[in-house]
């Protein structure tokens, strides 16, 4: 997903380099980084906390993608594809949280 987000944002207007461009990239990188950091923690509770942070970044990405579409930086079709992928990733993370909480 991070690679796709980098590709999508590379066509954003130059004046967005410090706006939506960088926010999307940071939020996109935040998801796998928080999952990895949480997995490296000693306790299950901490891992779950980092998974929730990753979910927060997914929600942020969802909003940023919708804004990018509204501003015509990306097509409506591309935004739908990206949001569907975010939904899939979110379901996987929620599933992992439920599994960890049931142990």
Write phi, then psi, for 11 (nearest 5 degrees).
-95, 5
Number of domains in the chain: 1
pLDDT in tens, 2-23: 999 999 999 999 988 889 999 9
CA dist., res. 35 & res. 6, Å (int): 19
Predicted TM-score (pTM) above 0.85: yes
Residue 59: domain span: 2-102
pLDDT in tens, 32-80: 999 999 999 989 999 999 999 999 999 999 999 999 999 999 999 999 9
Q: What CATH number did the domain enclosing 82 receive?
A: 1.20.1440.60
pLDDT given for residue 97 in this prediction: 97
**DSSP-based three-state secondary structure for 19:** coil
CA dist., res. 46 & res. 85, Å (int): 26
pLDDT given for residue 103 in this prediction: 79
């Amino acid at each position: 997903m991070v690679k796709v987000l980098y590709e999508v944002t590379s066509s954003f207007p130059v004046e967005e380099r410090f706006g939506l461009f960088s926010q999307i990239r940071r939020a996109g990188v935040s998801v796998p980084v928080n999952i990895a950091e949480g997995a490296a923690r000693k306790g299950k509770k901490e891992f779950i906390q980092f998974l929730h942070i990753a979910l927060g970044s997914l929600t942020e990405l969802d909003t940023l993608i919708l804004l990018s579409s509204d501003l015509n930086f990306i097509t409506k079709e591309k935004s739908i594809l990206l949001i569907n992928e975010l939904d899939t990733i979110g379901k996987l993370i929620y599933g992992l949280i439920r599994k960890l909480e049931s142990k």
